């Protein structure tokens, strides 16, 4: 749990609040009916049944704005603006008869303000609501226990913690904090602003708690992913004999959905049935149960709950269809969608949003295109929300062309759709396009959000673009953007993955609020750089500060032990994980232990550990053993690991290539030919080595023997110079890394043209003397290039930082930070 310091509530409205209110722009929502023609979408194997045409007047897809509604309905944004304008015209005079049938007559000014504030919040315009609140305070209009909860809700929706504290101070000064509704709203506000510690403090100090207080606090823990604390609070609630409301039970069910524990989920289902006031469960709680079982991987139980619903609404249909997509049972999801249509349950925008988002999360491109076509063919208005979801879906499926076409078709782009396309480029590692788009976004007058910045920073981390990452960090500081725990964690991760551990550690040390994600990012950074001792010290510091380590923490620290050869420390941590911290090791933790033992040469012990695992070993575990067999040249055990891997993933060519390399290293060329023939017959191809280097904000990629770069001639001239100087320094090529049955001279030529050598040559001709050269390689760096780079760092007086698939190598003055252990 991350802790935030509380400076105490502030009584007066600050100048910051007044300036913010003066600068607030009204929110405009613009839609465009068509983005891409259905004819541009390829035919799909998912079929939509023809359904009878409905009366145009009742067509569910024709969304028309109405000017009247029942007294129980709330006015929409446009109607709220009309009421607001009328009240301004009458100067909020409660003696004047208001000719608006949806607003009661002769309301006091305070009641009129309360009505408008609530209406703007319900129309997702919290900042306009806060502007009205500031106006109330300036006009000395009475602020009561009806006003404060709405204002706090607006602060929470906008993540304006400072304004929330000021409102809290006002409530304290005026004795409004004793009202249970105000207290519940305060808990909610602090939770939405990330200050769960203060939310719990308020909860504990409440003299009078209702069931809403309990459910709000449980939701607060769930929202901030503090599942253990939420479970403890549920137990306490049960002991206090507080009967949960349906809303509270929905929160509890959502908690178990996030925990994704199947048995606990079943127990929660039984608890819901026992505490339900109705014989049949309501749609809301049933839909939550469907979602819970889906996330627990139990589609059969989810379908049983769905089929048991006496009346299914569009929400329950959406949850079940989305569940099938989530579990990658796409055909069954499409089949249920058709059944929904035949039963005349028509999807709304929320349905399509949910299904498109779920398709993106599982990379179901074909289904995503099918949904896109359905949206276009059935008269949906292409709102910004739908367009953004589709751009995001195409981006996650790496279909950048469609993502860009959708984006270009939107006239009034908001920050979310810009962020979605930047994320799409980031997902596809298109660094230059992402940075260009960010520049266009700024030029268009759209202020980037924290989501945008996190996407850009994550892209820089992925491709090792330190210069661009520094520029983004500088932009954040210049714009005085709030650096919350998520954004700071992204920065720590970026600097660590780009090789600047000093800056990563500085940002981490300066953080006043650190959650487990930030600790994990720093620990993983130490692991990547082979700083095992520092990672262990950080783990102990984390423990001393009372931050609970989780599964990810132990993966990071075990990786650190593996890369540093700290076998005894790793074994001790593995034991502590179970017996001290009560965490059951997952398959990923066993993979770390196999890697730790295998790298150290303890192959038999690693194999014995695999055989003793309480669960079925997966590709991570067998892959770690196979990689260790390659390092220590054990072809017999490697064959065992390779057989298991190919049974688990027969289409993965990586295992075949690794096995081929192991045979080649032992000069077993007949077996090499057999493996390569097997791959050729199945049409599998080896992933080529790719090395990237960032120069002046642009990322340049190289493959072995690459001659496509505009500066190829200069690069190969520098390569010849490097080869000459290496030979003068006594370097002899290690041709054993060339795993082909060719003569020695050809092997020497092959190692000289490896992708990292080309990137290094480009770095030497493109950067000033003394500038560090940073290279990212998609594969493990070979032994020959490792030896050559050590010598080149001394010859040219350069620090050379290479990030390969496994870790970082810092070459300086003829030495590598890994100590030749990688």
**Contact (CB, 8 A) for 392 and 424:** yes
The pLDDT of residue 696 is 83
- Range in 22-26, 159-163, 690-694 the model is least confident about: 22-26
Query: Is the model's pLDDT at 453 over the cut of 60?
Result: yes
Is the whole model's pTM more than 0.85, yes or no?
A: no
Average pLDDT estimate for 57-64: 36
Q: Annotate 69-106 with b (16+ C-beta within 10 A) or e (fewer).
A: eeeeeebbbebbbebbeebeeeebeeeeebeeebbeee
The pLDDT of residue 43 is 39
What's the rounded Cα separation, in Å, for the pair 192 and 183? 14
Which of 686, 656, 692, 684 has its CA nearest to residue 671?
Answer: 656
Span 335-344, pLDDT tens digits = 999 999 999 9
**Contact (CB, 8 A) for 528 and 496:** yes
User: Hey, what are 426's tokens?
Assistant: 């980031």
* Antiparallel, parallel or unpaired: β 690-695 and 773-777: antiparallel
What's the rounded Cα separation, in Å, for the pair 229 and 222? 9
Span 311-320, pLDDT tens digits = 888 989 999 9
pLDDT band at 594 (very low <50, low <70, confident <90, very high): very high
Average pLDDT estimate for 125-144: 87
The pLDDT of residue 263 is 75
Average pLDDT estimate for 670-680: 70
Angle CA(558)–CA(562)–CA(563) in degrees, nearest 5? 120
Domain boundaries, the chain: 586-686, 691-816
What's the rounded Cα separation, in Å, for the pair 128 and 663? 69
Query: Is the model's pLDDT at 539 over the cut of 70?
Result: yes
Span 234-290, pLDDT tens digits = 888 888 888 887 777 887 787 777 766 677 778 888 888 887 777 677 788 888 899
Residue % of the chain over a pLDDT of 70: 83
CATH class of the structural domain 586-686: mainly alpha
Span 470-486, pLDDT tens digits = 989 998 998 888 888 88
DSSP string across 180-244: HHHHHHHHHHHHHTT-HHHHHHHHHH-SS--HHHHHHHHHHHHHTT-HHHHHHHHHHHHHTTPPP
Query: Is the model's pLDDT at 100 over the cut of 60?
Result: no
What's the rounded Cα separation, in Å, for the pair 164 and 175? 16
The SS3 call for residue 57 is helix
The pLDDT of residue 602 is 93
Query: Is the model's pLDDT at 50 over the cut of 60?
Result: no
Average pLDDT estimate for 746-751: 52
Cα-to-chain-centroid distance, residue 807: 22
The pLDDT of residue 572 is 95
The pLDDT of residue 245 is 77
Cα-to-chain-centroid distance, residue 606: 33
Which of 276, 225, 221, 209 has its CA nearest to residue 247?
Answer: 276
The pLDDT of residue 395 is 92
Query: Is the model's pLDDT at 745 over the cut of 70?
Result: no
SS (H, E, C) 266-306: HHHHHHHHHHCCCCCCCHHHHHHHHHHHHHCCCHHHHHHHH
- Owner of token pair 């090395």: 691
Query: Is the model's pLDDT at 203 over the cut of 90?
Result: yes
The pLDDT of residue 751 is 62
Q: Which residue has the higher pLDDT, 307 or 679?
A: 307
Any alpha helices (H) in 649-782, and if so which ranges?
Answer: 653-665, 669-681, 712-728, 744-752, 755-766
**Contact (CB, 8 A) for 553 and 542:** yes
Query: Is the model's pLDDT at 8 over the cut of 90?
Result: no
The pLDDT of residue 44 is 41
Q: Which residue has the higher pLDDT, 29 or 298?
A: 298
The DSSP symbol for 62 reads -
The SS3 call for residue 650 is coil
Query: Is the model's pLDDT at 810 over the cut of 70?
Result: yes
Task: Choose from 228-237, 559-568, 751-760 the range with maximum mean pLDDT.
Answer: 559-568
Average pLDDT estimate for 76-99: 70
The pLDDT of residue 3 is 36
Average pLDDT, the chain: 81
Span 236-248, pLDDT tens digits = 888 888 888 777 7
What's the rounded Cα separation, in Å, for the pair 755 and 701? 9
């Amino acid at each position: 749990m991350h802790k935030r310091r509380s400076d105490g509530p502030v009584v007066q409205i600050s100048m910051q609040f007044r300036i913010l209110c003066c600068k607030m722009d009204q929110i405009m929502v613009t839609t465009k009916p068509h983005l891409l023609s259905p004819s541009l979408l390829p035919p799909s194997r998912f079929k939509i049944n023809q359904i009878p045409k409905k009366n145009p007047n009742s067509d569910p897809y024709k969304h028309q704005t109405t000017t009247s509604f029942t007294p129980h309905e709330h006015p929409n944004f446009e109607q709220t603006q009309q009421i607001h304008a009328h009240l301004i015209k009458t100067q909020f005079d409660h003696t004047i008869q208001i000719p608006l049938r949806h607003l009661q007559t002769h309301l006091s000014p305070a009641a009129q303000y309360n009505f408008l504030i609530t209406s703007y919040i319900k129309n997702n315009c919290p900042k306009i609501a806060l502007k009205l609140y500031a106006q109330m305070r300036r006009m000395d209009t009475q602020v009561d226990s009806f006003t404060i909860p709405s204002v706090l809700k607006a602060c929470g929706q906008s993540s304006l913690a400072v304004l929330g504290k000021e409102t809290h101070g006002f409530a304290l000064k005026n004795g409004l904090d004793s009202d249970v509704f105000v207290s519940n709203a305060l808990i909610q506000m602090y939770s939405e602003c990330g200050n769960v510690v203060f939310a719990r403090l308020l909860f504990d100090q409440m003299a009078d708690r209702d069931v809403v207080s309990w459910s709000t606090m449980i939701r607060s823990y769930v929202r901030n992913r503090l599942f253990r604390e939420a479970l403890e609070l549920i137990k306490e609630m049960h002991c206090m004999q507080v009967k949960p409301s349906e809303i509270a039970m929905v929160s509890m069910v959502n908690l178990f959905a996030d925990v994704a524990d199947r048995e606990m989920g079943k127990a929660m289902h039984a608890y819901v049935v026992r505490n339900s006031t109705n014989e049949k469960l309501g749609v809301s709680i049933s839909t939550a149960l469907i979602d819970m079982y889906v996330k627990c991987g139990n589609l059969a139980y989810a379908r049983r709950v769905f089929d048991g619903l006496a009346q299914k609404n569009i929400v329950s249909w959406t949850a079940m269809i989305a569940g099938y997509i989530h579990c990658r049972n796409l055909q069954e999801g499409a089949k249920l969608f058709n059944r929904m249509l035949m039963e005349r349950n028509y999807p709304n925008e929320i349905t399509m949003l949910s299904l498109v988002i779920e398709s993106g999360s599982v990379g179901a491109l074909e289904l995503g295109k099918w949904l896109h076509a359905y949206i276009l063919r059935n008269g949906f208005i292409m709102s910004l929300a739908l367009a953004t979801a589709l751009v995001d879906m195409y981006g996650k499926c790496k279909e950048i062309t469609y993502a860009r076409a959708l984006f270009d078709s939107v006239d009034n782009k908001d920050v979310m759709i810009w962020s979605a396309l930047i994320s799409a480029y980031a997902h596809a590692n298109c660094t230059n396009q992402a940075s260009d788009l960010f520049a266009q976004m700024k030029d268009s007058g759209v202020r980037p959000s924290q989501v945008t910045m996190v996407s850009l920073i994550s892209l820089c981390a992925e491709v090792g673009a330190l210069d661009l990452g520094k520029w983004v960090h500088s932009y954040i500081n210049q714009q005085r953007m709030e650096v919350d725990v998520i954004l700071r964690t992204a920065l720590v991760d970026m600097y660590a993955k780009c090789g600047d551990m000093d800056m990563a550690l500085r940002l981490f040390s300066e953080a006043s609020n650190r959650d487990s994600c930030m600790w994990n990012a720093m620990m993983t950074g130490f692991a990547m750089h082979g700083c095992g001792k520092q990672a262990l010290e950080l783990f102990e510091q984390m423990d001393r500060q009372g931050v609970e380590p989780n599964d990810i923490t132990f993966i990071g620290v075990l990786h650190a032990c593996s890369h540093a050869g700290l076998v005894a420390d790793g074994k001790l941590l593995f034991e502590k994980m179970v017996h001290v911290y009560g965490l059951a090791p997952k398959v990923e933790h066993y993979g770390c232990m196999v890697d730790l033992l295998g790298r150290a040469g303890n192959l038999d012990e690693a194999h014995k550990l695999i055989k003793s695992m309480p669960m079925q070993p997966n590709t991570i575990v067998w892959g770690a053993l196979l990689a260790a067999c390659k390092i220590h040249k054990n072809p017999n055990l490697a064959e065992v690991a390779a057989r298991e891997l190919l049974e688990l993933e027969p289409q993965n060519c990586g295992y075949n290539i690794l096995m081929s390399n192991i045979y080649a290293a032992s000069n077993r060329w007949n077996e090499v030919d057999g493996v390569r023939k097997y791959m050729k017959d199945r049409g599998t191809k080896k992933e080529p080595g790719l090395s990237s280097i960032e120069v002046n904000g642009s990322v340049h990629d190289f493959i072995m023997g690459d001659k496509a770069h505009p500066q190829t001639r200069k690069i190969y001239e520098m390569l010849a110079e490097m080869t000459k100087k290496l030979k003068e320094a006594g370097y002899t090529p290690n041709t054993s890394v060339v795993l082909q049955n060719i003569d020695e001279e050809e092997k020497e030529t092959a190692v000289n043209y490896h992708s990292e050598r080309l990137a290094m040559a480009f770095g030497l001709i493109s950067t000033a003397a003394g500038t560090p050269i940073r290279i990212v390689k998609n594969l493990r760096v070979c032994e020959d290039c490792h030896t050559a780079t050590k010598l080149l760092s001394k010859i040219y007086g350069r620090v050379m930082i290479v990030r390969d698939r496994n870790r970082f190598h810092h070459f300086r003055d003829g030495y590598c930070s890994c100590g030749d252990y990688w």
